[in-house]
A and B are shown apart, each in its own frame.
Chain A
Amino acid sequence: MSETSFVLGEMVDRLFARVLDDDAMRSARAGAWPDAAWRAVVEQGLLRALVAGDQGFGLPLADGLALVRQLGRRAVPLPLAETMIANALLEKAGLPVVDGVVGLVPEQAGVLLREEGSAWRASGEADRIAWGRHADALLVEAGGRIGLMTSHFRVDREGSNMAAQPRDRMVLDGPATVAPAPRLSLLEAGALIRALAMAGALQTLVAMTIEHVSQRHQFGRPLSAFQVIQHGLARLAAESAAASAAADLAADAYAGDSPRAGLAIAAARARIGEAAGIAIGLAHQLHGALGFTEEHRLHWFTTALWAWRDEYGTAAWWTRRLGAEALAWQAPSYWPNVTAV
């Protein structure tokens, strides 16, 4: 990571510490839109953090993706990762970058892109669009194209995920500016940002748990002095390390434009989905009843992980997809395929 990226990372962390204090996080968990935080993010230009060239920060993509992980470390309840990756794709496709909330509509949502005379039109219904009610634009993928819509969409039914973040059903019918779809789909891009954010959230889960078991005393000793607690902590840290490694594998493949990036993303989502389940269980167990309260910060991370592991493709779907690929490799070449990812 370059020095610029490091400085940027520090700056972003300080920004979120300020604009997403405990009160802001609590009201977001209750379903409110963190307006002040979003305005600060826009003001800092973070929506363009992953954009290459003059329009963006000029960060290497790998370093930009590290910022997405950082959002996960604070369980940032904003459509920032989506907007960052959407803008990166828009710039690359020669479409205009958006200085507002962008919602991702992957091909699997079933929206159509049709040519009408010299223009293109997007139409259809799409469910569980992240932050749909706050969207200023939608990025749609269909039939080998991506299309940007900046109007003519509405929320049909409001919904939310396990972390009370808006996931809305949208109706789209209007003009779109189109370009050929990138090699990796919007679903894969969405899956990657969730993988990175989960790896970040799991790191925080480890840090919070270490702090708790070091400070909390029972039977006249800190919890961390008990071997059974130490072993739970070790398992938690190991799952977090696995999640980080899987996310790194996917991010490096994506940033390097590897032909194997789709596989790496599938593997990351399969492995991190499992790690999240184990880690959430361990973190809650080690926090005891205190961590099960509304007041404790632990659930900001555990509810986000419950939600994120099944967004942009469920963990089960990504796991089966990777399995179907691996079963199609000829048996003697299983290992060469593994080392090629």
Chain B
Amino acid sequence: MLDFPSPPHHEAAERLRDEVRAFLAAEIAGRTPLQRAESWNGFDRAFSRALGARGWLGMTWPKRYGGHERTTFERYVVVEETLAAGAPVSAHWIADRQSGPTLLKFGSEAQKESILPRIAAGDCVFCIGMSEPDSGSDLAAVRTRAEPVAGGWRVTGTKLWTTNAHEADYMILFCRTSGSPADRHKGTSQLLVDMKATEGMTVRPIYDLAGQHHFNEVHFDQAFLPATALIGTEGNGWSQVMSELAFERSGPERFLSSIQLLVELIRALRGSGSDLAQQTIGRLTAHLLTLRRLSRGVATLLEEGRDAAVQAAIVKDLGATFEQELPEIARSLVDAEPDRQSTRDLLAVLAYTMMVAPSFSLRGGTREILRGIIARGLGAR
């Protein structure tokens, strides 16, 4: 019913793990625990290029598009090792995980040839154009509209929560190309937006509660996109965007967001030998081992070319709960106030993780949306 196949032992992937660890040990040696805790929010184009130069981006893609034709398991190792080490992955993250795979699956030959090699080189930043002010979880209520005009499209509308829009080279824009919002899934499409050369588009920062600028609001006012911007088929946007979300939800990042806090907590508790410390770290380690096994099961499904949408939703739901409870558990064991300015790494990491934790069960599909997907997968209507 809900099959999570056994991940095979993959010799090449395990060899690669050692290489990645050695690379990271040198490349990000200077990052503090607090910087490591920021991981997927850490934006560093030089790091992404270095990763690309090692052949560790676009790993599973065909060589003719700059890829490396390696297995899902090898890519999995690179992703989990970079996250576990707290490397700054934000500059390649979205492109490698979902925008590239979406272009590979649906994009035109010209799009694939011009963009995929740049992503694989770590030289091309993408942002996601899905959410809108009135369309969050209810993605089908999308109002941004692209009107067909001579030679292309005129786009009007607003996208929200657009991570890295202020840095990005491209956006994959989900919008309506025909009909009205009442048509729901019908009449939607995906368009490729050049973020550096599109007129009529403005990007405004939105600061999050941790005081950081990752989010943006992107406003399109009669912005012109050429006909070649269409990704895939006009009107097929809904099924394409669902496929993109499946890429977005399937990786190990869905349970590793708080890993630096767990490492710091263990450092602080070591030697205490108390039953409570053992009980707590035992429970968290059991959760982590189980999540990793589930996530590798998802990778196995993907490698076999099978649908993993429901399994990925389960991993993300369990993973977000784990990541989110970590700050609460840590503060129950540590008798000090969380403080981002603290010279004690644990307290700084705790404060930061606490502030970003509410997002863990929102981004990439809220807990409520995921549970609906799981229930439907079980046959409940």
Contact = CB atoms under 8 A, between A and B. Distances in A.
Interface of A: 206-207, 210, 213-214, 222, 224-225, 227, 229-231, 233-235, 237-238, 241-242, 244-246, 248-249, 252, 264, 266-268, 270-271, 274, 316, 318-324, 326-329, 331-332, 334-336, 338-339, 341
Contacts of A323: 277-283, 285
B371 interface: yes
A338 B292 contact: yes
Interface SS of chain A: helix
Contact of A242 (B21, B290, B378, B380): B290
Contact of A270 (B84, B282, B311, B371): B282
23 contacts: A206-B378, A214-B379, A224-B380, A230-B371, A230-B372, A231-B371, A233-B378, A234-B375, A237-B378, A238-B317, A241-B311, A242-B291, A245-B294, A248-B6, A248-B293, A249-B290, A267-B285, A274-B283, A323-B277, A331-B263, A331-B264, A335-B84, A341-B289
A326 B266 contact: yes
Interface SS of chain B: helix
Contacts of A329: 266
A326 B282 contact: yes
Given A238-B318, A245-B290, A233 B281 contact: no
Interface string B272-288: 11010111111101111
B283 A324 contact: no
A20 to B, nearest CB: 22
Interface residues on B, range: 35 or more
Contacts of A242: 290-291, 294, 318
A338 B285 contact: yes
A76 to B, nearest CB: 21
B282 A230 contact: no
Nearest to B5: A248
Contacts of A244: 4
B64 interface: no
B78 interface: no
A248 B292 CA distance: 12
Contacts, number: 156
B16 interface: no
Nearest to B288: A338
B380 A230 contact: yes
A241 B319 CA distance: 13
Contact of A322 (B285, B293, B294, B375): B285
A271 B263 contact: no
A267 B4 CA distance: 18
A320 B1 CA distance: 33
B368 interface: yes
A320 B293 CA distance: 21
B371 A235 contact: yes
Given A331-B263, A334-B266, A320 B289 contact: no
Residue among A229, A242, A329 with max Cβ neighbours from chain B (10 Å) = A242
Contacts of B80: 339
A318 B291 CA distance: 18
Interface string B57-77: 000000000000000000000
Contact of A327 (B278, B288, B368): B278
Contacts of A336: 21
Contact of B17 (A206, A246, A319, A339): A339
Contacts of B275: 320
B374 interface: yes
Contact of B2 (A229, A230, A241): A241
B281 A238 contact: no
Contact of A237 (B269, B292, B374): B374
**6 pairs of A and B residues whose beta carbons are closest in the complex:** A323-B282, A230-B375, A323-B278, A270-B286, A234-B374, A234-B371
A13 to B, nearest CB: 15
B176 to A, nearest CB: 27
B259 interface: yes
B283 A210 contact: no
A248 B287 CA distance: 14
B213 interface: no
B301 to A, nearest CB: 13
Contacts of A326: 266, 281-282, 285
Contacts of A338: 285, 288-289, 292
B325 to A, nearest CB: 12
A320 B282 contact: yes
Given A264-B289, A271-B290, A320-B278, A233 B263 contact: no
Given A238-B318, A245-B4, A338-B292, A331 B283 contact: no
Contacts of A241: 2, 4, 294, 311, 314, 318
Contacts of A339: 17, 80, 292
B381 interface: yes
Contacts of A316: 279
B101 interface: no
B380 A233 contact: yes
A35 B84 CA distance: 53
A246 B372 contact: no
A248 B272 CA distance: 32
A322 B282 contact: yes
Contacts of A320: 275, 278-279, 282
A252 B296 CA distance: 14
Nearest to A333: B263
Given A238-B318, A323-B280, A267 B380 contact: no
Interface string B343-377: 00000000000000000000000001011101110
A245 B297 CA distance: 9
A326 B267 CA distance: 11
A242 B286 CA distance: 10
A334 B317 CA distance: 24
Nearest to A225: B381
B277 A327 contact: yes
B196 interface: no
Contacts of B374: 233-234, 237-238
Contacts of B259: 335
Contact of B372 (A227, A267, A271, A274): A227
